[in-house]
Amino acid sequence: MSVYTTISESDLKDFLSHYSVGTLVSYEGIKAGIENTNYFVTTSTGEFVLTIFEQLEWNELPYFMDIMAFLAEHKVPSAHPVADKIGGYLRKIEDRETNTLKPVALVARLSGSGVDNPTPHQCAELGEALGRMHSLAHNFKGERTNPRGIEWCREVTAKLTDKLTTAELSFLNQELAFQATTERSDLPQGVIHADLFRDNALFIDDHLTGIIDFYYACNDALLYDIAVTVNDWCVSESGSLDQERSTNLLDSYQTKRQLTDLERREWRAMLRAAALRFWLSRLIDLHFPRPGEMTHIKDPDIFRKILLWHRENEINL
> Do 147 and 290 reside in the same domain of the chain?
yes
CB neighbours (10 Å) of residue 255? 12
Report the pLDDT value the prediction gives residue 289, as an integer from 0 to 100: 85
User: How many helices (H) does the chain have, and how many strands (E)?
Assistant: 10, 9
Report the pLDDT value the prediction gives residue 96, as an integer from 0 to 100: 86
CA distance 68 to 81: 7
Is 4 inside any structural domain?
no
> Do 195 and 274 reside in the same domain of the chain?
yes
> Do 187 and 307 reside in the same domain of the chain?
yes
Is 148 inside any structural domain?
yes
What is the rounded average pLDDT of the residues 189-217? 96
Q: Express each pLDDT in 72-116 by its tens digit.
A: 999 999 999 999 999 999 999 988 888 889 999 999 999 999 999
Domain boundary among 108, 129, 151: 108
> Do 124 and 102 reside in the same domain of the chain?
no
Report the pLDDT value the prediction gives residue 317, as an integer from 0 to 100: 85
User: Residue 294: which pLDDT band, with cuts at 50, 70 and 90?
Assistant: very low
> Do 200 and 295 reside in the same domain of the chain?
yes
Say whether pLDDT at 295 is over 60: no
> Do 75 and 127 reside in the same domain of the chain?
no
User: Residue 32: which pLDDT band, with cuts at 50, 70 and 90?
Assistant: low
> Do 78 and 182 reside in the same domain of the chain?
no
Using left for φ > 0, alpha for ψ between -120 and 50, and beta otherwise, residue 112 falls in left
Is 113 inside any structural domain?
no
> Do 160 and 45 reside in the same domain of the chain?
no
Q: Under DSSP, is residue 42 helix (H, G, I), strand (E, B) or coil?
A: strand
Is 232 inside any structural domain?
yes
What is the rounded average pLDDT of the residues 281-297? 77
Q: Express each pLDDT in 122-138 by its tens digit.
A: 999 999 999 999 999 98
Range of the domain at 154: 120-312
> Do 150 and 246 reside in the same domain of the chain?
yes
| CATH number of domain containing 284 | 3.90.1200.10
Q: What does pTM read for this prediction?
A: 0.91
Is 32 inside any structural domain?
yes
User: Residue 1: which pLDDT band, with cuts at 50, 70 and 90?
Assistant: very low
Is 317 inside any structural domain?
no
> Do 96 and 136 reside in the same domain of the chain?
no
Report the pLDDT value the prediction gives residue 166, as an integer from 0 to 100: 96
| CATH number of domain containing 20 | 3.30.200.20
Q: What is the distance of C-alpha 295 from the center of its chain?
A: 18
Measured CA angle at 175 (ends 171, 181), to 5 deg: 155
Q: Express each pLDDT in 152-179 by its tens digit.
A: 999 999 999 999 999 999 999 999 999 9
* Residue environment code for 79-107, b if the CB has 16+ CB neighbours within 10 A, otherwise e: bbbbebeeeebbbebbbeeeeeebbbbbb
CA distance 129 to 85: 31
Domain boundary among 108, 142, 176: 108
Domain boundary among 82, 108, 134: 108
> Do 172 and 204 reside in the same domain of the chain?
yes
CA distance 104 to 89: 9
Is 1 inside any structural domain?
no
> Do 137 and 205 reside in the same domain of the chain?
yes
Is 2 inside any structural domain?
no
